[in-house]
Amino acid sequence: MKVIVLGAGIIGIHTAWYLLDQGHDVVVVDRQPDAALETSFANGAQISVCFCEPWANAGAPFKVAKWLLKDDAPLLFRPRLDPAQWRWGLSFLGQCTTAAFERNVEQLVRLGRYSHESLQALVAETGIQYNRLQKGILHFFGSEADFEAGAQGAEIMRRHGVDRRVLSRDEVLAIEPALRSAQHAVFGGTYTPSDESGDARVFTQALAKLAERRGAQFLWNHDIVTLQPQGDEVAGVQVQSRETGQTQWLKGDAYVVALASYAPGLTKSLGEHLNIYPAKGYSATLRLKRPEQASSVSLLDDARKIAISRLGDFVRIAGTAELVGLDTSLDSPTSKVRCESLVRRYEELFPGVADLSEPNYWTGLRPSTPTNVPYIGRSQKASNLWINAGHGTLGWTHGAGSGRALAELMSGKRPDLDFGFYGDALPARAVRSLQAA
Ligand SMILES: Cc1cc2nc3c(=O)[nH]c(=O)nc-3n(C[C@H](O)[C@H](O)[C@H](O)COP(=O)(O)OP(=O)(O)OC[C@H]3O[C@@H](n4cnc5c(N)ncnc54)[C@H](O)[C@@H]3O)c2cc1C
């Protein structure tokens, strides 16, 4: 079958890869000149299977209200005249119950495990180098109250079969000696030894190159304009070259929407309303002046809700979220505050370790669903349209598994994953389209 994959981020590229595995012809379209140049470009780098709690929990509304007016709050909600934002916000509130939290965690842990297994096999198969560190993730807390809450969180995750250990300050410092310079900020911690870190952009771009060698075609610098419905199917997708302005219709047997926060904009013309809203985040990447004094275990700093990951001779500090629509600007006063606070915090924790003179700031839009659970499966409006979008804070963690599962569903197979796939992912229908190809 000929499959047109729309979007070349982590999710689109993994989907393309596994579609090749299933024997399909693959065309990938993206408006950028290479893979992973938008949300997948400079994220927190964590493969965070065991730290995957959704934002929505029983305490979240109180916390968000407390943060409403703080420019450097970890989650900033700026109410706008934007129906999508309100719809998302109301659904999010609906998920702020203990029962919904447990249900969502279960889904995220299952997808995370399956994805981690898939990524490990993919790395072994391809040999891609991407500054991978298999040293776990260490979450440290600055106060006793936060530490107690973290220990309770660890208990909940252990009920879902996750190995998250509760550590005293001395145990934290034994696992990451570089934190000795930050003892004042460490009361205790939790640690997940099986988690990892690595550069998502480097990995995704390398995988795209290998996919091309295996026969995938890439149409770069093309805006995806619209889908053409025909009966209960999509008959084509209109794309426009950014270089020449020329438009053309691409036709396939099946289509995959892997457009992250831009997915709802494309599917709404079919009447398919995906509840994905962008949560703007930031990162700063700094060159290390004293790499020997920098951390190498990937860290989560609870006080600031930021991730700190070592990428070779660089360190990436990432985090914070703003619900402000499709805004990718970096020059607003709020963006400036948020970027600078990442660097300031790093310097507080690890004084003199990084070169602060040329911070590389970046912003990306996490494609967030109210549950944090992504849409993976068949469109409810067109039988040959498939969705792989809405991976929020965990797209790197869930990329390999999401791509593999969708490729299997599209090939009429049932993935070995107990997960709430979107839409009517009936193998029988997929088998029919495969047989017709
Ligand atoms: C600050 C921050 C930190 C993060 N940290 C982590 C982390 O530590 N671990 C983790 O697992 N996840 C993390 N994430 C989340 C992760 O980065 C995302 O979930 C992931 O990148 C989403 O991948 P994607 O392929 O869906 O989106 P994208 O990478 O954005 O891919 C979508 C593609 O669609 C293309 N596109 C969109 N619209 C059009 C159009 N109309 N025409 C043509 N092309 C189009 C874009 O160019 C883009 O290439 C973080 C995110 C942020 C913002």
pLDDT one-digit tens code per residue, 360-409: 999 999 999 999 999 999 999 999 999 999 999 999 999 999 999 999 99
The binding-site residues of ligand 1, defined as CB within 6 angstroms of any ligand atom, are 7-12, 30-32, 36-40, 43-46, 48, 223-224, 258-260, 262, 281-283, 307, 318, 364, 366-367, 389, 391-397
pLDDT at 64: 75
Residue to substitute in 255, 386, 396 for testing ligand 1 pocket (most ligand atoms within 8 angstroms of CB): 396
- Report the percent of the chain where pLDDT is more than 70: 95
pLDDT category at 78 given cuts 50, 70, 90 is confident
Hunting for tokens 């770069």 — which residue is that? 220
Ligand 1: centre distance to CA 157 (Å): 26
Yes or no: is domain 2-41+202-276+372-435 CATH 3.60.20.10?
Answer: no
pLDDT at 284: 98
pLDDT at 414 exceeding the cut of 70 = yes
Ligand 1: centre distance to CA 259 (Å): 8
pLDDT category at 250 given cuts 50, 70, 90 is very high
Distance from C-alpha of 5 to C-alpha of 386, rounded to nearest angstrom: 9
Q: How far apart are the first and last CA of the chain?
A: 5
Nearest-atom number in ligand 1 for the CA of 223 is 42
Ligand 1: centre distance to CA 146 (Å): 30
pLDDT at 138 exceeding the cut of 60 = yes
Four-point Cα dihedral 165, 169, 171, 172, nearest 10? 70
Asked whether the beta carbons of 369 and 276 are under 8 A apart, the reply is: yes
pLDDT at 431: 37
Q: CA 426, 212, 313, 296 torsion: positive or negative?
A: positive
Asked whether the beta carbons of 29 and 300 are under 8 A apart, the reply is: no
Q: Residue of the nearest CA to atom 12 in ligand 1?
A: 394
pLDDT at 427 exceeding the cut of 60 = no
Angle between helices 395-410 and 427-436 (to 10 degrees): 70
Tokens of 205: 């771009």
pLDDT category at 68 given cuts 50, 70, 90 is low
pLDDT at 251 exceeding the cut of 60 = yes
Q: Which residues pair with 238 in a beta bridge?
A: 226, 249
pLDDT at 74 exceeding the cut of 80 = no
Residue to substitute in 29, 55, 391 for testing ligand 1 pocket (most ligand atoms within 8 angstroms of CB): 391
What is the β-pairing status of strands 385-389 and 375-378? antiparallel
pLDDT at 430 exceeding the cut of 50 = no
Tell me the three-class secondary structure of the chain, residue by residue: CEEEEECCCHHHHHHHHHHHHCCCEEEEECCCCCCCCCCCCCCCCEECCCCCCCCCCCCHHHHHHHHCCCCCCCEEECCCCCHHHHHHHHHHHHCCCHHHHHHHHHHHHHHHHHHHHHHHHHHHHHCCCCCCECCCEEEEECCHHHHHHHHHHHHHHHHCCCCCEEEEHHHHHHHCHHHHHHHHHCCEEEEECCCEECCHHHHHHHHHHHHHHCCCEEECCEEEEEEEEECCEEEEEEEEECCCCCEEEECCCEEEECCHHHHHHHHHHHCCCCCCEEEEEEEEEEEECCHHHCCCCEEEECCCCEEEEEECCEEEEEEEEEECCCCCCCCCHHHHHHHHHHHHHHHHHCCCCECCCCCEEEEEEEEECCCCCCEEEECCCCCCEEEEECCHHHHHHHHHHHHHHHHHHHCCCCCCCCCCCECCCCHHHHHHHHHHC
| 188 closest CA partner among 232, 218, 147, 160 | 147
pLDDT at 145: 96
Q: Residue of the nearest CA to atom 4 in ligand 1?
A: 43
What is the β-pairing status of strands 25-29 and 217-219? parallel
Asked which of 7-11, 280-284, 335-339 is least confident by mean pLDDT, the reply is 335-339
Ligand 1: centre distance to CA 261 (Å): 8
Provide the mean pLDDT of the chain.
Answer: 94
153 or 437: which carries more pLDDT confidence?
153
pLDDT at 3: 98
Q: Residue of the nearest CA to atom 37 in ligand 1?
A: 259
pLDDT category at 71 given cuts 50, 70, 90 is low
Q: Residue of the nearest CA to atom 17 in ligand 1?
A: 40
Nearest-atom number in ligand 1 for the CA of 265 is 41
pLDDT category at 63 given cuts 50, 70, 90 is confident
pLDDT at 66: 74
Residue to substitute in 30, 285, 328, 388 for testing ligand 1 pocket (most ligand atoms within 8 angstroms of CB): 30
Ligand 1: centre distance to CA 71 (Å): 24
pLDDT at 195: 98
Give the type of residue at 234.
V
Ligand 1: centre distance to CA 387 (Å): 14
pLDDT at 162: 94
Distance (Å) of CA 294 to CA 215, 299, 315: 41, 11, 8
Domain(s) labelled CATH 3.50.50.60 in the chain stretch across 2-41+202-276+372-435
Model confidence pLDDT, tens digit, residues 337-348: 999 999 999 999
Asked whether the beta carbons of 54 and 105 are under 8 A apart, the reply is: yes
Distance, C-alpha 342 to centroid of its chain: 19
Give the type of residue at 265.
G
Ligand 1: centre distance to CA 103 (Å): 25
Distance from C-alpha of 296 to C-alpha of 294, rounded to nearest angstrom: 7
Distance, C-alpha 423 to centroid of its chain: 21
Nearest-atom number in ligand 1 for the CA of 280 is 53
Nearest-atom number in ligand 1 for the CA of 10 is 25
pLDDT at 80: 81
Domain(s) labelled CATH 3.30.9.10 in the chain stretch across 50-89+122-196+277-367
pLDDT at 437: 36
Asked whether the beta carbons of 96 and 60 are under 8 A apart, the reply is: yes
Ligand 1: centre distance to CA 282 (Å): 12
Asked whether the beta carbons of 24 and 46 are under 8 A apart, the reply is: no
Q: Residue of the nearest CA to atom 6 in ligand 1?
A: 44
Four-point Cα dihedral 332, 266, 200, 283, nearest 10? 10
Give the type of residue at 277.
Y
Ligand 1: centre distance to CA 435 (Å): 33
Cβ contacts of 205 within 8 Å, gap of 6 or more: 34, 35, 36
Nearest-atom number in ligand 1 for the CA of 320 is 1
Yes or no: is domain 50-89+122-196+277-367 CATH 3.30.9.10?
Answer: yes
pLDDT category at 59 given cuts 50, 70, 90 is confident
Mean pLDDT throughout 68-96? 83
